[in-house]
Structure 1
Amino acid sequence: MNATSTAPRDADCGAPVVELGLPVIGGSHHRSSAGTAGLDSSEASRSERFAQMRAGELGSLHSWELVTAVDGPGTRLTTFLSGCPLRCLYCHNPDTMEMRRGEPITADELLARIARYRPIFEVTGGGLTISGGEPLMQPAFVARVLRGAKEMGIRTALDTSGYLGAHCTDEMLDDIDLVLLDVKSGIPETYRKVTGRDLQPTLDFGRRLAARGTEIWVRFVLVPGLTDAPENVDAVADYVATLSTVSRVEVLPFHQMGRDKWESLGLSYELEDAQPPSPELVARVRDQFRERGLTVY
């Protein structure tokens, strides 16, 4: 998913809530953040933490930050959870690849931090965005935080690839005002090359959101030689145009800001020689979305 780039925090917070059977890598935008500063880590034992995570009382948090007009409207407190089922080749935040790398934080502790920013949210029209990694790796924790935020009158957003959309219950969707949906490819073969996973769950989740009337911002990462083929972009744009609740599309140009993290983690980085897209390529891709009547940024 696309989230933010910060220094890793190593703390074993127990087994993942969702077992997927593959090494996992999360992705994100590159921005500075507060890490987990200001939040107290859980002191529970390993077995206690496992039980708390199953109950949604405890989560694995990579970092949090306060940003404006990035992860939704207004000023947002964006929380980045650890763990992701995708293996995105362009991942900018591979230090969120495993849940054990995050800090164990209770939902109550996180909600107390969120509550401090209610005046800012009210003035700017902002709110809470839950991102990752992939937040739906920790659905019980996400559900608890969303419910707590809505009880405080805070608007909420979920930043997700949609791959684990089946883990997002209708009750969770009732507590979500906006979904930032990362559509990484429109052609199944390209999607598998980019992520190591299947495209269909993302398509299904987007259609489910539209059917419920949930507002969607679509994000598409433009990587020359990987996702830029006209037929791939057309497939994404054709799909997005069928979702009646999409209010904007963000075309995000690829960059190399996360390359050093792959090396520091001992991971093989396959896009070593990839270049950022030219202004002409970015313009062409944005026009492909605009041709479907979509609002593009």
Structure 2
Amino acid sequence: MLSQERSMNLSSLNVHSIETMGAFDGPGIRYVLFLQGCPFKCQFCHNRDTWDTSINKIKTPEEVLADFNRYKSFYKHGGITVSGGEPLLQIDALIELFKLFKSHNIHTAIDTAGATFNPNNTEKMDELMRYTDLILLDIKHMDEGSHQTLVGASNKNVLAFARYLDALDKTVYIRHVLLPGITGTPTQLNALRNFLDTLHNVKQIDILPYHTKGISKWKTLGFEYALMDLREPTKEEIYEAHDILKTAYIYKK
């Protein structure tokens, strides 16, 4: 009964898992909270078990802070990153969580694909951004049709979210998964670079080479993996992506 009552509380978080020593999810060593549920259906997702929005583990912001404090000596130059799934699905709880963490002067970051952003209703997002130090924004694909195929949804609100963050001057790290022949083509990479050149708040660009480690998880869960024939990118393809996306890019200081 207690868990059911807490699941109805908008300030409680539906948690998938926790990583206590995250080194790739923002500056420093970080406490990474993975939330349950995602509206995107990425064909290459390595966290297929996070899509389901049913209740997994319910935690209050206070419980998350207490757990964070168990390891806080490691986080002097880090903080908390909330990932998923798609953390913005739980925006009410995320606001309460970050409000609590900022009251303790802890650096906050969100790892998101911007899947739930609505440019016509930003009231809750405006509030969340007041307590958010960094956005790790995963841009999947610049082409609308290809994004629809790859993710199962439009990219229009994702790009609108990037422009919204730019208008706020909110610090952003761009993340881009490099899929050979899909997101890793010169045409796609140049389109992404041209878009990034219109922004003024991007401090870092992270290129994430596709890997096949997630296939076994799909199989274990009983799902068919759509990209079985997709290979991992070569070193040359990774170097080319770095060259296109990063050469002469002036990061925000």
Fold shared per TM-score above 0.5: yes
Instruction: Please give the residue correspondences for 1:29-68 in structure 2 after superposition, counting only pairs within 5 Å.
Output: 44=2, 46=4, 48-52=5-9, 55-56=10-11, 58-68=12-22
Choose from 285, 289, 293 the match for 2:241.
285
CA contact under 8 A between 1:238 and 1:292: conserved in structure 2? no
Q: CA deviation at 1:116?
A: 2.9
Identity of aligned residues (%): 34
CA distance in 1: counterparts of 2:241 and 2:166, whole angstroms: 23
CA distance in 1: counterparts of 2:224 and 2:146, whole angstroms: 19
Choose from 124, 130, 134 the match for 1:174.
130
Instruction: Please give the residue correspondences for 1:5-24 in structure 2 after superposition, counting only pairs within 5 Å.
Output: none
Q: Are residues 1:184 and 2:177 paired?
A: no
Alignment partner of 2:147: what SS?
A: helix
Once superposed, what is the RMSD of the aligned Cα atoms? 1.6
CA distance in 2: counterparts of 1:268 and 1:100, whole angstroms: 21
Q: CA deviation at 1:121?
A: 2.1
CA distance in 2: counterparts of 1:214 and 1:274, whole angstroms: 35
The one-letter code of the counterpart of 2:139 is V
- How many residue pairs were aligned? 247
Q: Are residues 1:232 and 2:172 paired?
A: no
The one-letter code of the counterpart of 1:131 is S
**Which residue of 1 is the match for residue 80 of structure 2?**
128
Q: CA deviation at 1:233?
A: 1.2
The one-letter code of the counterpart of 1:91 is C
CA distance in 2: counterparts of 1:164 and 1:115, whole angstroms: 30
Alignment partner of 1:100: what SS?
A: coil
The one-letter code of the counterpart of 2:75 is F
Instruction: Please give the residue correspondences for 1:256-271 in structure 2 after superposition, counting only pairs within 5 Å.
Output: 256-271=212-227
CA distance in 2: counterparts of 1:294 and 1:228, whole angstroms: 22
CA distance in 1: counterparts of 2:145 and 2:248, whole angstroms: 23
Q: 1:89 to 1:294 in 2, by over 3 A?
A: farther
- What is the CA deviation profile of residues 183-210 of structure 1, one whole-angstrom value per residue up to 9, with x for unaligned ones? 0011111111110101111111111111
CA distance in 1: counterparts of 2:6 and 2:78, whole angstroms: 32
**Normalised TM-score (structure 1):** 0.79
Q: 1:292 to 1:231 in 2, by over 3 A?
A: farther
Between stretches 247-256 and 93-102, larger displacement belongs to: 93-102
Unaligned regions of 5+ residues in structure 2, if any? none
Q: CA deviation at 1:286?
A: 1.1
Choose from 36, 40, 53 the match for 1:86.
40
CA contact under 8 A between 1:186 and 1:234: conserved in structure 2? no
CA contact under 8 A between 1:237 and 1:292: conserved in structure 2? no
The one-letter code of the counterpart of 1:281 is E
- What is the CA deviation profile of residues 253-297 of structure 1, one whole-angstrom value per residue up to 9, with x for unaligned ones? 0001110111111111011111100011111111111245256xx
Q: CA deviation at 1:117?
A: 3.3
**Which residue of 2 is the match for residue 163 of structure 1?**
115
CA distance in 1: counterparts of 2:172 and 2:75, whole angstroms: 20
**Normalised TM-score (structure 2):** 0.92
Instruction: Please give the residue correspondences for 1:71-82 in structure 2 after superposition, counting only pairs within 5 Å.
Output: 71-82=25-36
Q: 1:90 to 1:158 in 2, by over 3 A?
A: same
**Which residue of 1 is the match for residue 206 of structure 2?**
250
**Which residue of 2 is the match for residue 214 of structure 1?**
170
Q: CA deviation at 1:101?
A: 5.7
CA contact under 8 A between 1:118 and 1:154: conserved in structure 2? no
Unaligned regions of 5+ residues in structure 1, if any? 1-42
Alignment partner of 1:99: what SS?
A: coil
CA distance in 1: counterparts of 2:195 and 2:155, whole angstroms: 12
The one-letter code of the counterpart of 1:149 is F
- What is the CA deviation profile of residues 164-183 of structure 1, one whole-angstrom value per residue up to 9, with x for unaligned ones? 13365211101111100000
Q: CA deviation at 1:119?
A: 3.0
**Which residue of 1 is the match for residue 92 of structure 2?**
140
CA distance in 1: counterparts of 2:163 and 2:144, whole angstroms: 17
CA contact under 8 A between 2:172 and 2:202: conserved in structure 1? yes
